[in-house]
Amino acid sequence: MPFNATQKTQLMAELIEKGWSIREDTIWSPSGGLYFNDSHFTHWGPKEMRDIFTERAARIERSALKNWETSANENRQVSDAAAEVLKSIE
């Protein structure tokens, strides 16, 4: 089930606390490597986002490509923020 407005606001607030920023209705990671706009929130729900970004962080860690620590950390931040949203609706 897609994010509702309250869940989207909560997720964005969680990410902003971690240093993410909003530019033109899009939330960007500190490195600029990840972003989310309205289309992401209409296609994914909190559970899907948590699961997707947990796995992405693990894959990035396993690959250990250039700057993998930053990328893995930002993916974990998304996963953790989505997990917090899930806690509020359970």
The pLDDT tens digits of the residues spanning 30-55 come to 999 999 998 889 999 999 999 999 99
- Contact residues for 70 (Cβ-Cβ < 8 A; gap 6+): 31, 33
The pLDDT tens digits of the residues spanning 58-77 come to 888 888 777 778 888 888 99
Domain count, the chain: 1
Whole-angstrom distance, CA of residue 68 vs CA of residue 58: 10
The residue segments making up the domain with residue 19 are 5-89
